[in-house]
């Protein structure tokens, strides 16, 4: 029952965020603001607090935008914090055609909301920041601004987990990148992988001389934190033919794979929030 509620909410969040009303969520548009309104409402509903009194944290630049930051306080003052990322912007309309961005990245947002609900069910040892950057499709503008001038004490963050595209994979594979930079995270990750209903593969975090796009260390919002030496993991799938096209729709996501991938991410995140390491 609880599992089916989780799955239903996950799919509903993707359906809404990838709907016509959100207009493809391009940075600086009404659609992106509608997405933020929806996300804030969902975060508040599960008990997430705004960081420093507000969810919206605007940043300047070309383009500027608005990052969202929510907060779940932890019980252990000395424990390092977990920071979960999922960008909310996408491409909007290009040549008049809606790019709904269901996989990229309504799926990551729905997973972040599912994680927030699970994390908020009871007090956790670690404090958790729930962050939705804007401007990822504009050169990672939001996460770059966040890492350059963080409105929270970045030195408290022990791990960044980025969720960006989790809802479809022809081979049924969820990738987790970053472990080769931070091997201490391997046991917890392998345990979650062993429990996962989908195939979890570790990698895409070292250069491959035959494939310049193989290394994802700088491919999404974790990049700015990678450059600062903050440990990170990235959960996502390999690109598919509908990537960055009008066909990245709710109808084309693979519900069974997506629910399995999201369950795995939430499993890892809730475990990390309570673990006994620093
Ligand atoms: Zn993305």
Q: Output the six-digit token pair for 81.
A: 């914090």
Q: How far is the CA of 137 from the centre of ligand 1 (A)?
A: 7
pLDDT cut 90: percent of the chain above it: 91
The answer to whether 66 and 48 have CB atoms below 8 angstroms apart is no
Instruction: Give residue for tokens 């000395």.
Output: 78
Per-residue pLDDT tens for 124-148? Answer: 999 999 999 999 999 999 999 999 9
Contact 87, 32 (CB under 8 A): no
Residues 6 or more apart whose Cβ sits within 8 Å of residue 23: 29, 30, 31, 34, 92, 93, 98
Question: Using an 8 Å Cβ cutoff, are 233 and 190 in contact?
Answer: no
Q: How far is the CA of 101 from the centre of ligand 1 (A)?
A: 8
At 117, phi and psi to the nearest 5?
-65, -45
Residue 10 pLDDT exceeds 90: yes
> Is 71 within 8 Å of 156 (Cβ atoms)?
no
Mean pLDDT to the nearest integer, 241-265:
97
pLDDT of residue 75: 97
Q: Which domain holds residue 255?
A: 2-274
Please check the confidence at residue 48 and state whether its pLDDT lies above 70.
Answer: yes
- Cα(276) to ligand 1 centroid in Å equals 32
Beta carbons of 105 and 88 less than 8 angstroms apart? yes
CATH code, 123: 3.40.630.10
pLDDT for position 2: 64
Strand 56-59 to 65-72 pairing = antiparallel
Q: What pLDDT is attached to residue 3?
A: 80
- For residue 149, how far is its CA from the centre of ligand 1 (angstroms)? 22
pLDDT over 80 (residue 210): yes
Residues 133-192 pLDDT 10s: 999 999 999 999 999 999 999 999 999 999 999 999 999 999 999 999 999 999 999 999
In the predicted model, is pLDDT for residue 77 greater than 90?
yes
pLDDT of residue 266: 98
Say what percent of the chain tops pLDDT 70.
99
3-state secondary structure of 268: helix
CA distance 35 to 10: 15
What number is the average pLDDT over the span 237-259?
A: 97
Query: Comparing C-alpha atoms, which of 12, 2, 4 is closest to residue 253?
Result: 12
Radius of gyration of the chain (CA): 17
User: 74 alpha carbon to ligand 1 midpoint, in Å?
Assistant: 29
Residue 117 CA to ligand 1 center (angstroms) comes to 22
pLDDT mean over 74-98: 97
Q: How many CB atoms lie within 10 A of CB 61?
A: 14
Calculate how far, in angstroms, residue 127's C-alpha sits from the geometric centre of ligand 1.
25
At 211 the pLDDT is 81
Q: What is the number of residues in the chain?
A: 278
Structural domains in the chain (count) = 1
Rounded to the nearest angstrom, the distance between the alpha carbon of 277 and the centre of ligand 1 is 30
Residues with CB under 5 A from ligand 1 (ion): 104-105, 164
Mean pLDDT, the chain, integer: 96
Cα of 136 vs centre of ligand 1, distance in Å, is 7
Q: Flag whether the pTM goes above 0.95.
A: yes
The rounded distance, in Å, linking the Cα atoms of 268 and 121 is 16
What is the distance of C-alpha 202 from the center of its chain?
17
């Amino acid at each position: 029952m609880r599992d089916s509620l989780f799955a239903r909410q996950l799919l509903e969040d993707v359906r809404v965020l990838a709907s016509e009303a959100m207009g493809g969520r391009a940075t600086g548009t009404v659609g992106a603001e509608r997405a933020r309104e929806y996300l804030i409402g969902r975060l508040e509903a599960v008990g997430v607090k705004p960081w420093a009194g507000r969810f919206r944290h605007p940043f300047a630049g070309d383009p500027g935008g608005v990052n969202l930051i929510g907060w779940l306080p932890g019980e252990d003052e000395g424990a390092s914090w977990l920071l979960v990322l999922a960008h909310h912007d996408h491409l909007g309309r290009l040549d008049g055609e809606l790019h709904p961005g269901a996989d990229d990245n309504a799926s990551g947002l729905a997973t972040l909301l599912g994680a927030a609900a699970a994390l908020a069910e009871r007090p956790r040892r670690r404090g958790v920041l729930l962050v939705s950057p804007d401007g990822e499709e504009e050169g990672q503008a939001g996460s770059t601004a966040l890492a350059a001038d963080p409105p929270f004490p970045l030195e408290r963050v022990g791990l960044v987990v980025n969720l960006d595209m989790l809802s479809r994979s022809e081979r049924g594979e969820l990738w987790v990148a970053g472990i080769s930079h931070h091997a201490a995270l391997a046991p917890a990750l392998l345990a979650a992988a062993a429990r996962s209903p989908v195939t979890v593969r570790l990698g895409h975090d070292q250069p491959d001389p035959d494939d310049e796009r193989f290394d994802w260390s700088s491919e999404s919002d974790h990049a700015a934190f990678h450059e600062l030496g903050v440990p990170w993991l990235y959960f996502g799938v390999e690109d598919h033919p509908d990537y960055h096209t009008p066909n990245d729709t709710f109808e084309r996501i693979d519900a069974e794979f997506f629910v399995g991938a999201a369950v795995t991410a939430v499993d890892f995140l809730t475990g990390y929030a309570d673990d006994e390491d620093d």
